[in-house]
Structure 1
Amino acid sequence: MTKRLRVAGLRNAGRPKTAETKAKAWPIIVAIVSQTTILVALLYRIGWIRANATADYFGLDVTLLGLAPSDYLQRSLNSLVRPLLVFLLGTIVFYAIAPRLARSRGRFAERALRTARPVGGVLLLVGVLGVLVDVTPEWPEAALPPLAIFAGAGTLGYVTHLARSRAGRESGSHLLSVTLLGLSLIGLLLTVERYAEHVGRTIAVNDAQALLTRPEIRLHSTRKLDISGTGISLGYDASPEQDFHYRYDGLRLLVYSNNRFVLVSRQWEHGKSKVFIVKDNDSVRIDVTAPPDR
């Protein structure tokens, strides 16, 4: 009887430790899941902006392409590499000079500290007005207002922190710190979004200029389609053994998505030519021919 009690006591002794371990691990798991969810949502948003800018150049609504969430995530990568490199480089530079700024004393340091506060305020104000009015829609000028928000909020936040540290006051207005941090993150996000829009439009312009180097598309159809334009020719085969009587030449494939061919003329012009969306079914057939220079 005594041995059984001892064994039961040993078994029960491990339970509080297990419960304590689970209690400590749960906040970590929640933090990882929540941060991953936010990151994926941001990548999706940036990928959507990039894809929408490309589609908009050709006069398309991005929803017509029926892209999957994974497609948007993949398209966000080429819009993040350069901003991420610049941000990491700026972070390294900041952490390299921040200790020197914190240790610096004297008349020059005090004057710089007093000047930085109004400069940060002006940058923040100009940036917010620029975003609200949106007077600079083209890149790279489009990035100036959100960059001003990022720089202004960051400058105000660091100057405030530095002033409190020198005065020996570690505590302060948490609301002000959170507000400046939020404004800085918003400015950074808006900058990346506008860069993603620039990347998407640049890709569209390059695709339009390189249509002649893309594989040639011959579209066969059982019925006549509303496809016409400069550079497109229509052929007709009336033989009874032929199922696909209509043949369209001079086409190029922009993208295939959601069981749809998105086609343009090889002489497509922005603002003048049409984009054709053909559903992939038994009534159409596609032949692909590589260009002669390949």
Structure 2
Amino acid sequence: MLAYYLVSTLARRESGLLPYVRRGCQAVMALAVPLFLLGLLAGLQVLDAGPMGTPLLLGGALLLFLASRVLAVKCSGTPYPVRRERAALVVSTALIALASFWAVGAYAQEKGRMDARYLAAHLTLRPAVVLDTAERLYLPWPGVEEKALPTASEQRFRYRYRGLRLLAQSNNQMFVIGKNWTWQDGAVMIIPVDGSVRVAFHAG
């Protein structure tokens, strides 16, 4: 927006800097073409640009080309868009918006992976859980210990499980993982917060 305002001011004043500004815009347009081609190659998996590389290259190249084209036309004092480029402007804008959503989605996915890796490496930061249940859960998780509680007529809970960690709690549900949980193949158990289980928390 600032560049557009400056170029508009120079055009109104018929400044001698306009030819240089136009050449600069043309140079940026020329630079955007190989960037777009790199984005296409990344999209075809010819080269590895990372999870966000493809949308950033494609969208960024289109944005650079479009902005430079607008400024170049503005240098000549002609209003933009010119009639023959309106369809191209609509398509380019739609592609830039699509690339933006693509990049945001890729960032969210990568952020989730990073958070999962961090959690797996720092499980001791999550509260430890001791879980008592009335029925056997048959948990095949590494590090989770099952112990049968003494039977008594007034005792409803029969099994105790140690080696669990509280991942999160939402409304009336707890999400519990094993203490040796890994983000690649770890499982999550959902426990209702009601009288069907007995839960105790401790640190470490």
TM-score band, normalised by shorter chain: 0.7 to 0.9
Between the aligned partners of 1:114 and 1:178, the Cα distance in structure 2 is 21
> Which ranges in structure 2 are unaligned for 5 or more consecutive residues?
11-16
Match of 1:143 among 34, 39, 52: 52
Q: Which residue of 2 aligns with 1:229?
A: 141
Q: 2:89 aligns to what SS in structure 1?
A: helix
TM-score, length basis structure 1:
0.57
Q: 1:142 aligns to what SS in structure 2?
A: coil
Residues 272 and 188 from structure 1, CA distance in 2 versus in 1: closer, same or farther, beyond 3 angstroms? Answer: closer
Q: CA deviation at 1:233?
A: 1.2
Contact 1:223 1:283 in 2 (8 A): no
In the alignment, does 2:118 pair up with 1:212?
A: no
Farther off after superposition, 245-254 or 220-229: 220-229
Between the aligned partners of 2:6 and 2:159, the Cα distance in structure 1 is 75
TM-score, length basis structure 2:
0.78
Q: Which residue of 1 aligns with 2:96?
A: 184
Q: Which residue of 1 aligns with 2:156?
A: 243
In the alignment, does 2:76 pair up with 1:167?
A: yes
Instruction: Encode CA deviations 1:214-234: one digit per residue, 9 max, x unaligned.
Output: 211111111111213322111
Between the aligned partners of 1:148 and 1:159, the Cα distance in structure 2 is 16
Residues 268 and 179 from structure 1, CA distance in 2 versus in 1: closer, same or farther, beyond 3 angstroms? Answer: same
How large is the Cα RMSD of the aligned pairs?
A: 2.8
- Aligned residue pairs total 193
Which structure shows the bigger proportion of residues in helix conformation? 1
Between the aligned partners of 2:75 and 2:114, the Cα distance in structure 1 is 48
In the alignment, does 2:67 pair up with 1:158?
A: yes
Instruction: Encode CA deviations 1:90-124: one digit per residue, 9 max, x unaligned.
Output: xxxx62x5555664334x54443333223223323
Q: Which residue of 1 aligns with 2:39?
A: 127
In the alignment, does 2:199 pair up with 1:286?
A: yes
Between the aligned partners of 1:276 and 1:150, the Cα distance in structure 2 is 40
Match of 1:105 among 18, 23, 26: 18
Residues 164 and 98 from structure 1, CA distance in 2 versus in 1: closer, same or farther, beyond 3 angstroms? Answer: closer
Q: CA deviation at 1:163?
A: 2.7
* Counterpart residue type for residue 112 of structure 1: G
Instruction: Encode CA deviations 1:2-46: one digit per residue, 9 max, x unaligned.
Output: xxxxxxxxxxxxxxxxxxxxxxxxxxxxxxxxxxxxxxxxxxxxx
Q: CA deviation at 1:134?
A: 8.6
* Counterpart residue type for residue 251 of structure 1: L
Contact 2:7 2:75 in 1 (8 A): no
Percent identical residues: 24
Residues 142 and 101 from structure 1, CA distance in 2 versus in 1: closer, same or farther, beyond 3 angstroms? Answer: farther
Q: CA deviation at 1:144?
A: 1.9
Contact 1:156 1:180 in 2 (8 A): no
Which structure shows the bigger proportion of residues in strand conformation? 2
Between the aligned partners of 2:159 and 2:46, the Cα distance in structure 1 is 48
Between the aligned partners of 2:160 and 2:47, the Cα distance in structure 1 is 48
Q: 2:51 aligns to what SS in structure 1?
A: helix
1:6-85 matches, within 5 Å, as none
* Counterpart residue type for residue 121 of structure 1: V
Instruction: Encode CA deviations 1:47-68: one digit per residue, 9 max, x unaligned.
Output: xxxxxxxxxxxxxxxxxxxxxx
